[in-house]
Structure 1
Amino acid sequence: MFVSTFTFAPGAFDAEFHRMDAAIAEAARAIPGYLGEESWENPATGLVANSYYWDSMAALEQLMQHPTHRAAKQQQARWLAGYHVVVAQVVASHGDGRIAHPLA
């Protein structure tokens, strides 16, 4: 399994940002191998993190090649005050079962 975490500093969002964001989310959820997602905000820094879980790197690469994803990446400076992406292989996942999680 893999996780891609997109951390960003929000900027000025417009209608085009929201349209593309929704289209990318819809595309991700339609890819075989998509397992789920989580979003977090750090009130101290204002940063937002979206983590997407995948059953394979091939599934994640499908999203990275999606035309809307590629277009948004080229235009990100219009809407974001900075971003960073981490792609990692999940070697373990566990919990007590009392909260829902995409890998549970």
Structure 2
Amino acid sequence: MFTSTFTFAKRDYDADFFALDERIAQVARAIPGYLGEEAWENAATGLISNVYYWDSKEALQQLMEHPSHREAKQAQARWLKGYQVVIAEVVGTYGDGGIAHPLAGRDTR
């Protein structure tokens, strides 16, 4: 399994941002191998993180190569002060089942 974490500092959003953001989310959710996503905001820094979960690197690569994703990379400076993407391989996951999570039930320890 893999994660792609997109962390960013936002500027002002407009209708184009919301439309493109929704299009990318729909594309991601339609890719075989998409497992789920979550979003986090750090109130102290103002940074926002979107974490997508994938069952393979190939599934993740499909999103990265999609035209909507490329469009967002080219236009990001309109809406973002800066961003960082981290791609990571999941080496383990576990929990007690008490919270909903995209990887719940996939315990690997």
What TM-score, normalized to structure 1? 0.99
Distance 2:72 2:87 in 1: 18
Cα distance, 1:41 vs. partner? 0.2
Paired residue for 2:62? 62
How many correspondences in the alignment?
Answer: 104
Paired residue for 1:16? 16
Structure 2 counterpart of 1:32, one-letter code: P
Does 1 or 2 have the higher relative contact order (CA < 8 Å, sep 6+)?
1
Structure 2 counterpart of 1:5, one-letter code: T
Distance 2:60 2:25 in 1: 12
> Which stretches of structure 1, 4 residues or more, deviate above 6 A after TM superposition?
none
Distance 2:52 2:72 in 1: 17
Structure 2 counterpart of 1:38, one-letter code: E
Aligned ranges 1:19-34 → 2 under 5 Å: 19-34=19-34
Distance 1:19 1:7 in 2: 19
Paired residue for 1:45? 45
Paired residue for 2:107? none
Q: Secondary structure at the match of 1:51?
A: strand
Distance 1:48 1:75 in 2: 18
Paired residue for 1:103? 103
Cα distance, 1:76 vs. partner? 0.3
Structure 1 unpaired stretches of 5+: none
Q: Alignment RMSD, CA only?
A: 0.4
Structure 1 counterpart of 2:3, one-letter code: V
Structure 1 counterpart of 2:72, one-letter code: A
Structure 2 unpaired stretches of 5+: 105-109
Structure 2 counterpart of 1:47, one-letter code: L
Aligned ranges 1:66-85 → 2 under 5 Å: 66-85=66-85
Cα distance, 1:51 vs. partner? 0.2
